[in-house]
């Protein structure tokens, strides 16, 4: 699936907006992306996840052996299920317990089990790294990371191959330097 096709789907589902936005960080941007809005359509989510798995298969080929998919809750859940479906393996998740991701509900990582970590969007990679640590602490092996959108600009520093459908590095500015503010348009808070 070509990036242009992915961006078209993001725009059609209003997951990707263009305009003038104030982000939660306080920075202004001409782009806003909310992955959950595209993932609310199961058939589209399935298609996108299958496309990431296809990329991973092309790259790793016969080297790829995966027994499961693990995701950080909450955003990673629909992607984890989609990747699990495409690979025909189980998909489970780690969730926040007192501020840290942990395995609950009797979910298990078996020693020497090979897993893929799945997430919707990767920015600095902190949550994905936490999940990787959970896997390796139990003797599991992280084969790769699969995400729909990579916003890390290649700076996530993760020590395994990262596969994504698109790279997205939107321009952001402190309000005082925002060219859109200078043009006189008001910044809006998306999702509110
Ligand atoms: Zn602005």
Domains of the chain: 3-182 (3.40.50.2020)
Distance between CA atoms of residues 42 and 82, nearest Å: 9
Q: Model confidence at 20, in pLDDT bands (50, 70, 90)? A: very high
Q: Model confidence at 192, in pLDDT bands (50, 70, 90)? A: low
Question: Who surrounds ion ligand 1 at CB < 5 A?
Answer: 28, 178, 180-181, 187
- To which residue do tokens 């998740």 refer? 93
The stretch 152-179 carries a mean pLDDT of 90
Q: What is the pLDDT of residue 169?
A: 85
The yes-or-no verdict on residue 112 having pLDDT over 70 is: yes
- Could you tell me the distance, in angstroms and rounded to a whole number, from the CA of residue 182 to the centre of ligand 1? 7
**Proportion of the chain above pLDDT 90, given as a percent:** 84
- Could you tell me the distance, in angstroms and rounded to a whole number, from the CA of residue 13 to the centre of ligand 1? 24
Distance between CA atoms of residues 3 and 7, nearest Å: 6
Strand partners, 144: 116
The yes-or-no verdict on residue 154 having pLDDT over 80 is: no
- Could you tell me the distance, in angstroms and rounded to a whole number, from the CA of residue 178 to the centre of ligand 1? 5
- Name the average pLDDT for the chain: 93
- Could you tell me the distance, in angstroms and rounded to a whole number, from the CA of residue 168 to the centre of ligand 1? 19
- Higher-confidence position of 132 and 1: 132
Whole-prediction pTM: 0.90
- Could you tell me the distance, in angstroms and rounded to a whole number, from the CA of residue 40 to the centre of ligand 1? 29
The yes-or-no verdict on residue 74 having pLDDT over 80 is: yes
């Amino acid at each position: 699936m070509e990036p242009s096709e992915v961006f078209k789907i993001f725009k059609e589902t209003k997951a990707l907006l263009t305009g003038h936005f104030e982000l939660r960080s306080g920075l202004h941007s001409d782009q806003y992306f909310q992955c959950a809005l595209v993932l609310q359509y199961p058939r589209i989510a399935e298609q996108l996840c299958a496309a990431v798995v296809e990329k991973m298969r092309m790259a790793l080929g016969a080297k790829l052996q995966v027994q499961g998919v693990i995701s950080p809750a909450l955003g990673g859940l629909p992607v984890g299920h989609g990747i699990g479906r495409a690979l025909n393996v189980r998909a489970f998740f780690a969730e926040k317990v007192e501020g840290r991701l942990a395995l609950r509900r009797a979910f298990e990582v078996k020693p020497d089990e090979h897993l893929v970590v799945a997430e919707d969007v990767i920015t600095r990679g902190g949550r994905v790294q936490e999940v990787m640590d959970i896997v390796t602490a139990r003797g599991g092996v992280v084969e790769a990371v699969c995400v729909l959108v990579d916003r890390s600009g290649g700076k996530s520093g993760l020590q395994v191959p990262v596969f994504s459908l698109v790279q997205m590095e939107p321009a952001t500015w402190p309000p005082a330097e925002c060219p859109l503010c200078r043009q006189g348009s008001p910044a809006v808070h998306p999702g509110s």
